[in-house]
Structure 1
Amino acid sequence: MDKIRFMVVSGFLGAGKTTTMIALAEYMDRNIGKTAIIANDLGANLVDTSLTQTSGCTVAEIGNDCICYQMDNTVDQIRRLRDKEGATFVMSDIPGCGVGALDHVYHTLHDDNADEFTLSPFMVMVDPERLRMIMPEHADINLPEELVYLLKLQLEEADLIVLNKIDLLDESTIDRYMGFLHEACPDIPAMKISAKDKTGIPELAEYLTTHETALKNFSVRNNQEFADAEAKLTWYNRRLYLKTKDGSKIDCNAVVDDLIEGIRMGLIERKRNVPHLKTFATSGNGDFNKASLIGVDYDTEYAQEFLRDHKNMRMIINARAVCESRPLARLMDDALDEVCDKYDLDCQVFFTECFGMADEGR
């Protein structure tokens, strides 16, 4: 049996890992071979899984912890995607500020499953706004220094660095960003893409399917700075159902926008931030809203908005916040209550989890 290619996609919160994996999978399905995606995060009920499913890509979900710490499950999922779905290339992301998959995943697969898997380059995504934190201007985007340290670690871990969202930049600015990456990480190849516009995707796919990992030694085991940085983050996941009390159709885009704005204002009031907030809402029949917020100082970005009014919608909220878990849970409830009152909505909450990396009992 031919080996299956596997790759991990790492990167900072909001760098566009899911959008990039979808763009790669769509291109590779058409031009190279069957490609599958594993959506991975620390919690359950993932926006990324729902978004990937709407694209038509083959997707599996590994939740409740990073793939780094459930390797038996990860190997089983890759085999299932190969045997049941015919995948020849599988890619998985890891939680948004995750570091360490090169050590835990790549070296484990190389040591235990080298006869089954070819390991493509360990890819780290960066977006222009977050990269500014470590560029000469040392931009202050209201994130703690510990998260700046995580970004630096992620770049150090990479086999390949990919600058995403170049559709937001002019050519001279792209050259400046790429020049910085080549100078800061001289031994690591760097490429530029726009996953949104599909720019650079064919070249990236070609590279990933013709190169392999350098399998360098990189570990954050027993790294207290890394542990302190992770402890700054709280994970929040919720799945709910909203409907109008009188059965009338309303502008559900406005509901999503007001909910995110309520969360933003609650964080600002507490002098906290959200490096990444994602929501996915659908009323079925292919109509959905996918929104993203990369900080309280930024505008909400929409990958897609509802095309028509609806009387109900199912919704998933994923947030990765620089905020303690208890106040985060309270402000999320407050924002939801305000929206329900404003639009006269009934709400059923089916699932909620909120935990900090350093919370006792986690």
Structure 2
Amino acid sequence: MDKKRFMVVSGFLGAGKTTTMVALTEYINSIGKHAAIIANDLGANYIIDAEYSSRQNVEVTPIGGDCICYIPDTLIERINRLNKEPKDIVMSDIPGCGIGALDHVYGNLDKNHKDEFTLAPFTVIADPERLRMIMPEQADINLPEELKFLLDAQLREADCIVLNKTDLMSEEEVARYVKFLQEACPGIPVFPISAKEKTGLEALADYVLTAESRVNITDIGYGGPEFISAEKKMSWFNRNVFITSKDGIEFDGNQLVDDVIDEIRDGLIANKRNVPHLKTFAVGKENDYGKASLIGVDYDIIHDQELKENTSKLQLVINARAVCESDLLLDIVDEAFEVIAEKYNVKVKLFFNECFGMMDEGR
């Protein structure tokens, strides 16, 4: 029986895990091989990464409601499902700042399913802006000190590191970041790419299609006091709403989404909180869609795809991972939608909502 090649893609919030997986899958498919994606999220429904990926001409299946670290049977079933038509590789992300997948996922597959799976290099996507927290400048980017633990732990798990967003960097900056990563993670290959511009993918694709993970499981403090302290700072938020114009007049969906994001941003700033990653996915007329994101209250909104037409009806999904208590985060988002409803003269119908802290009782 031929083994199935599987790869986990880890990385900090907003590093571009989904964009990298889509770009890498598209490239692999373009050279006559076949790749597919599993989009994993702790939210129970409406996973933006799965919705967006499925519109990029790649094969994707979602796993929601839990991390692949803790549902091995579901993960194996999805890998096998995607391999009904044989794939050269199936890749999956892990939610948010997730660490521990090297042990929980690769360790389990290596120990109990060695004859079924070839484990491709455990791949960590690095965001140059967030790396500044642990580089010599020790930059303050308005995230709690506790989150440095998560970033450092992710790099320690890596079989290879992908320095993403090189389109935003000079050649000198790329060289400096690569040098830092090589010194911080000796012996680990570093691949500078731009997933957005689809550059640097050839060497990365060749590596993940041919190399294998060391499955070098070491103690990174998972479940320890530093891990718990970092996770206590974070909350998840997922909401799906349907927005309709009260008077039938079409509105600019792109501007409405930007205003929702800015209202949430203002609420977080007023409460001295932050959002390392907020994503929105909006669908207007005839599957006209837009995707926007925010990687912190101090950053500009990123538009991966904009709506092409004004509309009188809009489905909007928001996924967020915030440095904010869950109750406060829920209040901030509710207030944002109240402002938007009045400003645009629209009705906002709630279809799905969840907001929880990782340490909330009953989670």
Q: Is the 8 A contact 2:292 2:301 kept in 1?
A: yes
SS in 1 for 2:55: helix
Match of 1:125 in 2: 125
User: How much has 1:165 moved relative to structure 2?
Assistant: 0.1
* C-alpha separation in 1, matches of 2:64 and 2:325: 22
What amino acid sits opposite 2:234 in the alignment? L
SS in 2 for 1:55: coil
SS in 1 for 2:279: strand
Q: Is the 8 A contact 2:99 2:222 kept in 1?
A: no
* C-alpha separation in 1, matches of 2:173 and 2:33: 35
- TM-score, normalised to structure 1, is 0.98
After TM superposition, the structure 1 = structure 2 runs for residues 81-160 of structure 1, keeping only pairs within 5 Å, are 81-83=82-84, 85-160=85-160
Match of 2:262 in 1: 261
Match of 1:238 in 2: 239
After TM superposition, the structure 1 = structure 2 runs for residues 32-71 of structure 1, keeping only pairs within 5 Å, are 32-44=32-44, 45-71=46-72
Match of 2:361 in 1: 360
Q: Is the 8 A contact 2:254 2:290 kept in 1?
A: yes
After TM superposition, the structure 1 = structure 2 runs for residues 256-295 of structure 1, keeping only pairs within 5 Å, are 256-295=257-296
Q: Are 2:226 and 1:225 aligned?
A: yes
What amino acid sits opposite 2:225 in the alignment? Q
User: How much has 1:55 moved relative to structure 2?
Assistant: 0.4
User: How much has 1:227 moved relative to structure 2?
Assistant: 1.7
* C-alpha separation in 1, matches of 2:232 and 2:157: 20
Match of 2:324 in 1: 323
Q: Which runs of 4+ in 1 moved over 2 A?
A: 85-88, 218-222
User: How much has 1:212 moved relative to structure 2?
Assistant: 0.4
Instruction: Render the CA deviation track for 1:50-107: whole Å, top value 9, x for unaligned.
Output: 1101102111111111100000100011011111x44331100001201000000001
Identify which range, 91-100 or 276-285, moves more after superposition. Answer: 276-285
Aligned residue pairs: how many?
361
User: How much has 1:32 moved relative to structure 2?
Assistant: 4.2
* C-alpha separation in 1, matches of 2:35 and 2:190: 23
* C-alpha separation in 2, matches of 1:218 and 1:74: 23
* C-alpha separation in 2, matches of 1:328 and 1:165: 29
Q: Is the 8 A contact 2:285 2:309 kept in 1?
A: no
Q: Is the 8 A contact 1:100 1:218 kept in 2?
A: no
Instruction: Render the CA deviation track for 1:146-188: whole Å, top value 9, x for unaligned.
Output: 1111100000110001100000001011111111111111121
User: How much has 1:209 moved relative to structure 2?
Assistant: 0.3
* C-alpha separation in 2, matches of 1:70 and 1:204: 28
What amino acid sits opposite 1:353 in the alignment? E
SS in 2 for 1:274: strand
Q: Is the 8 A contact 1:3 1:117 kept in 2?
A: yes
Q: Is the 8 A contact 1:46 1:318 kept in 2?
A: yes
5+ residue gaps, structure 2, are none
* C-alpha separation in 2, matches of 1:223 and 1:300: 34
User: How much has 1:249 moved relative to structure 2?
Assistant: 1.4
Instruction: Render the CA deviation track for 1:190-245: whole Å, top value 9, x for unaligned.
Output: 11000000111121111100100011022444422112211110000001111111
